[in-house]
Amino acid sequence: MHKKLVLASQSPRRRELVTKLGVAFNVVSPTSDETLDSSLTVEGQIEKISEEKALSVFENYQDCVVLGSDTVVVLNGEVLGKPKNEEDAKDTLMKLSGSKHDVITGVCLVSSECKRVFSVKTEVEFFELTEAEIDAYVATKEPLDKAGSYSIQGFGSVFVKEIVGDFYSVMGLPISRVNQELIHNEW
């Protein structure tokens, strides 16, 4: 990669994952609207938000490659974003208890020469959770800023019975796919 990489994100998890690329990068907070567009598929919605994040930063970093990303959890067609408060987190975790759900992460890579937008879907299954387990987990505050109210790499990992797909996508960025896009496109 010949250009500097800029991560358009406030997420410490995405920052951690981008370090795995082994390249220097800057982090800039995006200034885009994260409202979902219900006229699109969930994948289309999350790709659009990722693109808007990347483009909002690209305006001021046109000599760089800008990476934008966003993640949602989908249970039976319902999009479960970040919880509004502790009660919302508890309600979300009760819904996820004993069930399979999809985690969809959208990604946009943009430079002056190229733009790639894609999404990665991963299926996650939870064990049955007790109310006491959920209360104890929410008390850690960990789920309060996470799509679906859990952190697969944190304390929430003990709820996961099975994962089919990309673990890092559930964390917030399918870093292997991002790496492949950077290698196989002219950036």
Give per-residue pLDDT as tens, 115-164. 999 999 999 999 999 999 999 999 999 999 999 999 999 999 999 999 99
Mean pLDDT on 167-184: 95
Backbone angles phi, psi at 92, to 5 degrees: -65, -45
Q: List pLDDT tens digits, range 78-96.
A: 999 899 999 999 999 999 9
The catalytic residue among 33, 37, 63, 70 is 70
- Please answer whether residues 54 and 30 qualify as being in contact, where contact means their C-beta atoms are separated by less than 8 angstroms: yes
Distance CA 101, CA 43 (A): 14
Class of the CATH-defined domain 5-184: alpha beta
Helix (H) and strand (E) counts in the chain: 6, 7
Catalytic (active site) residue 33: no
